[in-house]
C-alpha cells in the first residue's frame, strides 16, 4: 500500500535547503527567496509549484511521491541496506539529519542509483502472496547482458500471447542477509485511454501504455525460487521456467513432485514447541487459524473442509487446539485422517526500548503460497518456518 502523500506535508518536513536544491536540480525556477523563508513555511513553495506548467509540475509531483515512499523507517532501512552492499555506511550521517524526509530526499539528490535500488527493495519488502518453488541449491544466478536479454525476451513473449508485453525491461539486484538474487521485470500492459486535460486546459482522451511488475527472487542457500506475479499455477510455472533457463542456466523447470515448499502437518501436534533463537526477540508464536481438508465421503460432499479460528490470549495461547480437540470425534473423524492446507500464525516480538511490541500475522497455504513479505521481521519468520520444517530447504 502506497504511503499517503501531501505536497504541503512533504514541504513542511523536508529542509528548505534540500528543497531549494531539488527544484534547481529539476530545472524549476520558483523565484522564492529561500534564505528568507522560515522552515515549515510551506505556502509560498506550494503556490509557486502550483503556478508551474502542467508538464514540469507533473514530473516534480512524481519525484516527490517517489521520495515520499521512502521517507519512513522501512524506506530508510532499505537505503542503508543498499548503501552497505556497496561498502558505504551512512548510519552516522543519517543520525545527524532531522527526519526521514531529509534522509530520503538527500539520497534521491546525491545517490540516485542507490535510491532507485532502495525503492525496489522497499517495494519488495511490502508485497505478499509469494509463489515458491524448489529449483536447486547454490546455482549461479547470472546478471550478464545475454542472460538479462533472454529473460526480457522470454517474459515479453509469454505475455504477448495475452495481447500485451510488447516491451519488457528487467532490473537485477543483489540483496544480502540472507543472500538473494532479485530480478524486477516490467512488461508493457494493455493499451488504455485516459481522460485528461492538455496544456491548454482542454479535456482530451490520451492513449497510455503502462507497465506491470513481475518479481523473481532466487535464494541460493535454500534452492528456492520465489515469484510475485498474477496468474494460475500453470502460468506461474511457465514464468518460472523462463527464469530458470535464462538466468540459472537450467534446461527446464526442475521437477518438484513429492517436494512441496510448505508442509503444515507438524501443526497437527498440539504439543509442538515453536523453538526460537534469543537474538530474534520472539516473545510468542500462536496459531490463530487452521484449515482442515477432510476425507471425502457421501455425507461431507466434494472437497470438504473445516476452518477453525480463535483469538488466543496470553492466558490461553493454545486455545485453537482445544477447539480442534472438541471439533473432531474419535469415532467419526480423527486428526490423522485430515490434512492441514492453510494456517495463520502470529509472531509477537519483544519491544526495543519504549516502543510497542511488534506483531506479525501471516498465512501459509499448502503447497506453495505464503503471505510473508521480505522485510527484516518477515525474514525472521521465514527462518523459523525452515527451522520447524514447515518451509522446506
Nearest C-alpha neighbor of 142 from the set 179, 114, 183? 183
Predicted structure pTM score: 0.86
pLDDT, one tens digit for every residue, the chain (393 residues): 568 999 999 999 999 999 999 999 999 989 999 989 999 999 999 999 999 988 899 999 999 999 999 999 999 999 999 999 999 999 999 999 999 999 999 999 999 999 999 999 999 999 988 999 999 999 999 999 999 999 999 999 999 999 999 999 999 999 998 999 999 999 999 988 888 777 777 888 887 889 999 999 999 999 999 999 999 999 999 999 999 999 999 999 998 877 789 999 999 998 999 999 999 999 999 999 999 998 877 665 677 899 999 988 777 878 899 889 888 877 667 888 899 999 999 999 999 887 889 999 999 999 999 999 998 999 999 999 999 999 987
- For 290, other C-beta atoms within 10 Å of its C-beta total 24
- Residue where the block lists cell 501471516: 362
Contact 374, 124 (CB under 8 A): yes
Nearest C-alpha neighbor of 218 from the set 338, 133, 311? 133
Q: CA-to-CA distance for 208 and 193, rounded, in angstroms?
A: 6
| 104 and 147, same domain (yes or no) | no
| 272 and 224, same domain (yes or no) | no
Q: Is residue 96 part of a domain?
A: yes
| 14 and 95, same domain (yes or no) | yes
| 383 and 269, same domain (yes or no) | yes
CA dihedral 148, 107, 88, 222 (to 10 degrees): -40
Write the DSSP string, 128-166. --EEEEE--TT-----SHHHHHHHHHHHHHHHHTTT--S
Which of these three, 96, 126, 156, is where a domain ends? Answer: 126
| 299 and 237, same domain (yes or no) | no
* Structural domains of the chain, count: 3
End-to-end CA distance of the chain: 30
User: 258 Cβ partners below 8 Å, 6+ apart?
Assistant: none
Q: Is residue 253 part of a domain?
A: no
| 219 and 175, same domain (yes or no) | yes
| 40 and 99, same domain (yes or no) | yes
Q: CA-to-CA distance for 392 and 69, rounded, in angstroms?
A: 34
Q: Is residue 53 part of a domain?
A: yes
What residues make up the domain containing 363?
265-387
Hey, which residues does 151 pair with through a beta bridge?
A: none
pLDDT for 111:
97
Kindly state the DSSP code that residue 293 receives in the 8-state scheme: E
Q: Is residue 276 part of a domain?
A: yes
pLDDT for 300:
59
Q: CA-to-CA distance for 390 and 366, rounded, in angstroms?
A: 10
Q: Is residue 294 part of a domain?
A: yes
User: 64 Cβ partners below 8 Å, 6+ apart?
Assistant: 5, 7, 10
| 119 and 203, same domain (yes or no) | no
Beta-sheet pairing, 282-293 with 339-349? antiparallel
Locate all alpha helices (DSSP H) within 231-371, ordered by sequence: 233-246, 319-327
Q: CA-to-CA distance for 139 and 250, rounded, in angstroms?
A: 9
pLDDT for 80:
96
pLDDT for 298:
64
Residue count (the chain): 393
Nearest C-alpha neighbor of 77 from the set 385, 384, 279, 374? 374
Dihedral sign, Cα of residue 22, residue 27, residue 30, residue 34: positive
- For 25, other C-beta atoms within 10 Å of its C-beta total 12
Contact 81, 121 (CB under 8 A): yes
Which set of grid coordinates corresponds to residue 75? 524506506
Q: Is residue 84 part of a domain?
A: yes
Which of these three, 213, 246, 279, is where a domain ends? Answer: 246
Nearest C-alpha neighbor of 215 from the set 225, 205, 201? 225
| 99 and 193, same domain (yes or no) | no
| 212 and 182, same domain (yes or no) | yes
Which 3 state secondary structure label does DSSP give 118?
helix
pLDDT for 301:
63
Nearest C-alpha neighbor of 265 from the set 364, 331, 372? 364
| 122 and 135, same domain (yes or no) | no
Q: Is residue 16 part of a domain?
A: yes
- Phi and psi angles of residue 99, each rounded to the nearest 5 degrees, phi first: -165, 180
pLDDT for 236:
97
> Cα 352 from chain centroid?
24
Which of these three, 70, 98, 126, is where a domain ends? Answer: 126
Q: Is residue 255 part of a domain?
A: no
| 63 and 169, same domain (yes or no) | no
Amino acid at each position: 500500500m502506497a504511503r499517503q502523500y501531501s505536497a504541503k506535508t512533504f514541504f513542511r518536513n523536508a529542509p528548505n535547503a534540500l528543497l531549494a536544491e531539488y527544484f534547481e536540480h529539476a530545472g524549476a525556477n520558483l523565484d522564492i527567496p529561500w534564505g528568507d523563508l522560515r522552515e515549515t513555511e510551506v505556502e509560498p513553495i506550494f503556490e509557486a509549484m502550483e503556478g508551474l506548467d502542467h508538464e514540469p509540475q507533473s514530473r516534480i509531483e512524481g519525484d516527490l511521491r517517489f521520495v515520499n515512499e521512502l521517507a519512513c523507517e522501512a524506506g530508510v532501512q532499505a537505503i542503508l541496506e543498499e548503501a552497505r552492499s556497496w561498502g558505504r555506511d551512512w548510519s552516522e550521517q543519517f543520525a545527524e539529519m532531522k527526519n526521514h524526509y531529509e534522509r530520503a530526499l538527500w539520497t534521491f539528490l546525491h545517490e540516485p542509483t542507490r535510491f532507485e535500488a532502495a525503492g525496489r527493495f522497499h517495494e519488495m519488502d511490502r508485497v505478499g502472496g509469494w509463489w515458491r518453488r524448489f529449483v536447486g541449491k547454490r546455482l549461479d544466478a547470472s546478471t550478464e547482458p545475454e542472460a538479462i536479454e533472454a529473460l526480457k525476451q522470454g517474459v515479453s513473449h509469454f505475455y504477448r500471447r495475452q495481447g500485451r508485453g510488447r516491451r519488457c525491461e528487467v532490473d537485477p539486484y543483489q540483496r544480502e542477509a540472507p543472500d538473494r538474487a532479485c530480478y524486477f521485470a516490467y512488461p508493457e500492459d494493455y493499451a488504455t485511454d485516459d481522460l485528461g486535460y492538455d496544456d491548454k486546459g482542454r479535456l482530451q482522451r490520451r492513449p497510455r501504455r503502462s507497465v506491470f511488475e513481475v518479481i523473481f527472487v532466487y535464494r541460493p542457500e535454500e534452492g528456492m525460487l520465489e515469484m510475485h506475479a498474477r496468474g494460475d499455477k500453470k502460468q506461474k510455472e511457465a514464468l518460472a521456467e523462463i527464469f530458470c533457463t535464462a538466468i540459472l542456466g537450467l534446461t527446464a523447470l526442475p521437477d518438484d513432485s513429492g517436494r512441496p515448499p510448505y508442509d503444515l502437518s507438524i501443526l497437527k501436534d498440539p504439543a509442538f514447541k515453536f523453538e526460537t533463537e534469543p537474538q530474534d526477540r520472539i516473545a510468542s508464536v500462536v496459531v490463530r487459524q487452521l484449515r482442515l481438508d477432510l476425507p471425502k465421503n457421501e455425507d461431507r460432499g466434494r472437497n470438504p473442509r473445516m476452518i477453525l479460528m480463535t483469538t488466543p490470549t496470553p492466558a490461553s495461547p493454545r486455545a485453537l487446539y482445544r477447539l480442534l480437540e472438541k471439533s473432531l470425534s474419535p469415532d467419526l473423524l480423527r486428526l490423522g485422517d485430515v490434512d492441514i492446507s492453510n494456517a495463520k500464525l502470529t509472531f509477537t516480538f519483544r519491544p526495543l526500548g519504549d516502543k510497542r511490541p511488534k506483531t506479525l500475522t501471516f498465512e501459509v497455504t499448502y503447497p506453495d503460497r505464503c503471505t510473508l513479505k521480505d522485510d527484516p521481521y518477515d525474514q525472521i519468520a521465514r527462518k523459523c518456518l525452515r527451522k520447524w520444517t514447515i518451509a522446506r530447504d
